[in-house]
Amino acid sequence: MTTADWQRLETSLPAWVSECRGYTAQGKVASYIPELSKAPKDALGITIMSSDGRSVSAGDSELAFTMQSISKVFTLILALMDNGEEAVFRKVGMEPTGDNFNSMLKLELVQPGIPFNPLINAGAITISSLIKGNGSAEKSARILQFFKRLSGNASLAYDSDVYLSESDTGDLNRSMAYLLKDHGVLEGKVDDVLDVYFRHCSIRGTCADLARMALVLANNGSDPLTGEILIPRRYVQIAKTFMTTCGMYNASGEFAIQVGLPAKSGVSGGILALLPGRYGIGVIGPALNAKGNSCAGVRLLETISQEMDWSMF
């Protein structure tokens, strides 16, 4: 990006956040995990980091939130690094579903009864079972350590209130995990696998943490500051492809058309997005639209991408 482009971004970002904040009124904060309902409905914030070390933030970018489904991108990558591509794709597919993220419909309807992709809940729970480690505590510790390295934030931690809230109320995920166990997809104890899953969904961060993690993906797996390879390039390619085809759930096609960047959303209202080779982006806006994506967050990314001509397509 030229200096003039970056200056335009820095100058315009606060105004774009103000314009899009109004869309928070059209959404609802998730409440099926009761603790999430405490998030401020009208919040909207963003951080954008560039591969040359520049960073710009606007709005409520300091608000801490749990990563929820955004974490699934990085547990997928860790499972690929632990097991290789062939072993992972024996257990999960590569296709979007058209169903809700927490649906089990196709596990019954479509043989061989494996999750369609690693970003729906059934797929991410399966991925949790593939993380190497001696018991759920070690697996969770490895995931948290991996997230700390990618975000460059050694104090990244779980939100234990959100973790307990989801663990107490996660009966749908629990039933899905038992079905997967019965289909021979899940190995190990169902409760242990779910513990790993609920814990990684409850890792808390800010827009800056998401932006930095996204920047590693934008840089094909290298640490943007040190050049150290944190993720093999092939696994970044796989992750970016899933983000493009299923990262925004049943709005992934519309998001690809309107924004044109690989992205992943979570029910806490976070969105991680990236422009390959150039930017890592973290967004928070807890009010969700009917598709489960941040209402104002999606609008903000549409505005920025269209104004700055960032679509990859």
Name residue, tokens 């018991």: 135
> Which is the catalytic residue, given 50, 57, 69, 151?
69
Of the pair 96, 292, the CB lying nearest ligand DON is at: 292
Q: Which stretch binds ligand DON (CB under 6 A): 44-52, 92-100, 144-152, 261-269?
A: 261-269
> Which is the catalytic residue, given 23, 158, 197, 279?
197
Number of residues that bind ligand DON (CB under 6 A): 13
> Which is the catalytic residue, given 73, 267, 283, 298?
267
8 A C-beta contact, residue 217 and residue 274: yes
Does residue 163 have an active-site annotation? no
- Verify binding: residue 101, ligand DON, rule CB under 6 A: yes
The pattern of x and - marking residues 54 through 93 that bind ligand DON according to CB under 6 A reads --------------xx------------------------
We find the least distance from the C-beta atom of residue 36 to ligand DON, in angstroms, to be 9
Does residue 197 have an active-site annotation? yes
Does residue 249 have an active-site annotation? yes
Task: Find the binder of ligand DON among 244, 252, 265, 294 (CB under 6 A).
Answer: 265
> Which is the catalytic residue, given 72, 91, 139, 240?
72
Task: Find the binder of ligand DON among 126, 173, 222, 252 (CB under 6 A).
Answer: 173
Measured between alpha carbons, how far apart are the two ends of the chain, in Å? 18
We find the least distance from the C-beta atom of residue 138 to ligand DON, in angstroms, to be 21
Does residue 56 have an active-site annotation? no
Q: Which stretch binds ligand DON (CB under 6 A): 75-83, 90-98, 126-134, 265-273?
A: 265-273
Task: Find the binder of ligand DON among 159, 166, 195, 302 (CB under 6 A).
Answer: 166
> Which is the catalytic residue, given 249, 252, 283, 305?
249
User: How far lies 258's CA from each of 6, 12, 109, 189, 310, in Å?
Assistant: 21, 19, 32, 42, 10
